[in-house]
Structure 1
């Protein structure tokens, strides 16, 4: 494989890193729980009728947590002094290889003329508990187990999975009878063929479950280390190759990176090469996380003794609405880095079956405030199957960012209910985040209906020894993560066929 699993070259360094993290953990835990005193809307709903008692609990907890945080300061300082120098010796990702019981069959051309490849990209918002509250989400460890189990079941629906004792989902929240009536009245998913001469029909769908047998998972915001451990342990039996804990910690330029990139990639096919680049221009709260680009090369098969390979480029761009220029520059850097990775790791005679660019790009194709990013050259190099051009999407494309204040409403509280609700314009207007106007404020007029599509799965065709043609078979907007994330996962199924 050529990839060691530990990000450190020796056990001594790995042990020193673990010891330093143990010293940092008390302050990390206390800070997270102090921030977690902020309540989600479903917790506020549970406090109805006893608001005074809930407020008193928070008032009593805050001083104790602050006191313990101050007492942990010496351990924090000692841990930082040990941890920061170690980051210079750390490779910016960890790798998990679990031998698969049913590895995918190698693709051999010209004998096997075509193959379908399935990709899934999702922002799962697995932040430390206190930070997740700012997105109106909580129970990070519970959500991590639930998400991983759902993903694992999609690979092998009949597989027996361990009982994690996850318990029930958070309580539903209702602000009136209209939500319940809305989801009962709409029971049709969006399934519309693409209008295009000479192209195979593309099915755009809203589905309540993850598409079965995804070959590649590209996740964002897997920031919490304990949550990442739970996800990779559950996915390991189904995905032989997992890249996790991606990012550069410590001092990077003038910024202190306290969180990694949040990127997490799982592949059923063998991984040949991995490279990560950290964006140098993060600003504000994003400057504390190592957002960047993860590039992965996988081996798919062989053609006349030469390799058939695929490339996956996964990223998460600057978040705040007013930072269009930062996102634009990050897109330009990512294209440069992706091409450099392919030039460095490609071999003469390689056939490239696919080249995927995906992730949470934090801009959409409808907001006036996102005009700069909408015209970036990335859309001339990579094909976005949901897009016709700047400010115009395919009629079946919908937004992927939800209205986070309403994620516990009854109409969107389960995958099935969310699917039905988002299948009609009224539901999308109410439960998806609206466009951002030129002044940086969200559009509250209600005149739009599709929402902000900020999660992308794009592809690029390459020429090579084996001439291949790529057809988009299906694009999926998935409601499986209802109450578990403020984003809709997106799925893409490509059919790659030999022209011969």
Structure 2
């Protein structure tokens, strides 16, 4: 079936949905403005530094707060009418919208006789409505969306900057992990041996004595040659439109507005999934599956798994294809059992989608899963998720074993109360700060207990919580090897997560 290019196939249903959203708009605006009165740490600092700043802030609360509360109460009857119209329409809505921009330059088809490098980027952007974003110490969603879109669109490669935004690996020599190569400007770190069977790796505690600190593979720029972008928390409709418009100049194929609202299994979902995918390669098929077990505040969003099959080329009348999954799991720290079930569903859906879409003779070049999994590989509270079967099927290049990351891997979740501090206020400063152990300890979120509180007795070494993953599954007869990994600081002061990039070398046959 053709991919849907609008949320509703019927113009009449689209008109009814527009009318429902118009009725919902006054109440949504008043609630968002009311929540937006909560100041970020940057706004508090500006008030402290300004004469009578606190007085003006308190006056704004005292005047605007009651007015917005009254407007919200007055809008409730109209909001209820809009909700009654909006809810049943969601059952007829497409689970995603596909955009094809013919003006964007497509990727060159792959000649199977040559090695090809594919680059994937995953980023949590925290693009919720401004009032909700304030709970993560982020606001001004329209401005941040425009800024993020400008930073995401790759510029022309600069031979003097981080080798196109990725950090190349080096193999282990006689002395183990190496430092830098004299002929390269980038930090060289070892990647894991991808052939290593993950299922045979037992749960291990951090080694004693601890391994020496290695410089993390940090980059202050996005890879300009990225083939696939997998984004999370693009909940705000205006932000999604901004991203589509900007990214459409470079990525011809975009899937957005993923997930539906409405009533499902007795739950009221007011937000979509927040997932967003941009590809240089043509999309052959796509599907979205909702997680049925969202709990607490996450139950208000239609979180799930987006599945995409792309066409990379052809060889002897055989299709060369790739598979990408993009997901965002349950967030609260104590919900490890919920995430465990979601991981099991995701693994099943990945396998089912590929079985349904593969045709006889297909050559699969890559099989990649990206997303914010909301657990790390260091916190003792996350041990249940660290041992999931998914990591026996898909390989995580940043991980050695359950509970033990590679020495150069670092956390991707920032300390949200520190994101506006001077040492991490620009991509360049953040890269310099996070290159040091003391900087990572101050500005990255640390290991947690099941309650969500910091783990003060964590034995170390301490590298922060790595919630954002790009994992892959080799697909014979092609050979897949890790070419590069990078943690990217480009979104300084725009998000509370570090994006992650993975580059894979794919070559025909055995090495």
The Cα shift of 1:376 comes to 0.1
C-alpha separation between the residues in 1 aligned to 2:426 and 2:16? Answer: 44
Q: What's the secondary structure of 1:325's corresponding residue? A: helix
Distance 2:413 2:361 in 1: 41
Alignment match, 1:184: none
- Return the offset for 1:57: 1.1
Conservation of the 8 A alpha-carbon contact between 1:30 and 1:69: yes
Give the structure 2 partner of residue 115 of structure 1.
Answer: 116
Instruction: Determine whether 1:212 maps to 2:187.
Output: no
Which is worse superposed, 334-343 or 148-157? 148-157
Query: Are residues 156 and 17 of structure 1, via their aligned partners in 2, closer, same or farther at CA, if it must alter by over 3 Å?
Result: farther
Asked whether the equivalents of residues 155 and 238 of structure 1 are also in contact (C-alpha less than 8 Å), the reply is no
How many Å separate the matches in 2 of 1:438 and 1:88? 36
Q: How does 1:489-500 map to 2 (within 5 A)?
A: 489-499=499-509
The match for 2:427 among 411, 415, 434 is: 415
Cα-to-partner distance string for 1:49-104 (whole Å, 9 max, x where unaligned): 53132112112111100111111112211211211111111111111111144211
Does 1:257 find its partner at 2:258?
no
CA deviation map 1:261-317 (0-9, x unaligned)? 000000010001110011111111000000000000000011210111100010000
2-side partners of 1:84 and 1:156: how far apart? 47
| Secondary structure, aligned partner of 2:217 | strand
C-alpha contact (below 8 Å) 1:475/1:491 kept by paired residues: yes
Are 1:237 and 2:249 an aligned pair?
Answer: yes
Q: Which residue, out of 309, 318, 324, partners 2:330?
A: 318
Match of 1:297 in 2: 309
Q: 2:191 aligns with which of 168, 190, 194?
A: 194
- Secondary structure in 2 matching 1:234: helix
Residues 21 and 86, structure 2, Cα contact 8 Å, conserved in 1: yes
What residue in structure 2 maps to residue 28 of structure 1? 28
In the alignment, structure 1 residue 139 sits paired with structure 2 residue 140: yes
Q: Encode CA deviations 1:154-205: one digit per residue, 9 max, x unaligned.
A: 4778xxxxxxxxxxxxxxxxxxxxxxxxxxxxxx985422365999xxx961
2:367 is matched with: 355
Task: Assess, with a 3 A threshold, how the Cα gap between structure 1 residues 55 and 20 changes in structure 2: closer, same or farther.
Answer: same
Task: Indicate if the aligned counterparts of 1:413 and 1:482 stay in contact, CA closer than 8 A.
Answer: yes
- Tell me the residue number matched to 1:125: 126
TM-score when normalising by structure 1: 0.89
> Does residue 500 of structure 2 align to residue 486 of structure 1?
no
- Kept in 2, the 8 Å contact 1:154–1:214? The answer is no
Change (3 A) 1:409 1:444: farther
Distance 2:406 2:398 in 1: 5
Whether 1:97 and 2:110 are equivalent positions in the alignment is: no
Q: CA RMSD in A?
A: 2.0
* Match of residue 372 from structure 1: 384
3-state SS, counterpart of residue 105 of structure 2: coil
* 1:63-74 to 2 correspondences below 5 Å: 63-74=66-77
Query: Could you tell me how far apart the structure 2 residues matched to 1:332 and 1:474 are?
Result: 28
1:46 and 1:413 map into 2 onto residues whose CA distance is 15
Determine whether 1:226 maps to 2:238: yes
Give SS of 2:492's match.
Answer: coil
Where does 1:34-183 land on structure 2 (aligned, <5 Å)? 34-48=34-48, 49=51, 50-110=53-113, 113-154=114-155
1:362, distance to aligned residue in structure 2 (A): 0.3
Kindly indicate whether the alpha-carbon contact (under 8 Å) linking 2:40 and 2:138 is maintained by their aligned counterparts in 1.
yes
Q: What is the CA distance between 1:444 and its match in structure 2?
A: 4.4
What corresponds to 2:11 in structure 1?
11
> Is the counterpart of residue 456 in structure 1 residue 453 in structure 2?
no
**Superposed CA offset, 1:435-465 (max 9, x none):** 01255421246865310001000000123xx
Partner SS state of residue 47, structure 1: helix
Aligned residues: 463
What is the alpha-carbon distance in structure 2 between the residues aligned to residue 155 and residue 384 of structure 1? Answer: 29
Any unmatched runs of 5+ in structure 2?
159-184, 197-214
Structure 1 unaligned runs (5+)? Answer: 158-187
State how far apart, in whole Å, the 1-side matches of 2:270 and 2:195 are.
50
Q: For 1:440 and 1:142, how far apart are their aligned partners in 2?
A: 31
Q: Shift of the alpha carbon at 1:105?
A: 1.3
Secondary structure (helix, strand or coil) at the match of 1:349 reads coil
Corresponding residue of 1:477: 487
1:280 maps to 292
Cα 1:485–1:340 change in 2 (3 A) is same
Q: Displacement, 1:41?
A: 0.3
Question: Tell me, what secondary structure is at the counterpart of 1:309?
Answer: strand
In 1, the alpha carbon distance for the partners of 2:107 and 2:59 equals: 57
Deviations 1:131-168 (A, max 9, x none): 000000011111101111111134778xxxxxxxxxxx
When structure 1 is superposed on structure 2, of 241-250 and 50-59 the one drifting more is 50-59
Q: Is the 8 A contact 1:190 1:423 kept in 2?
A: no
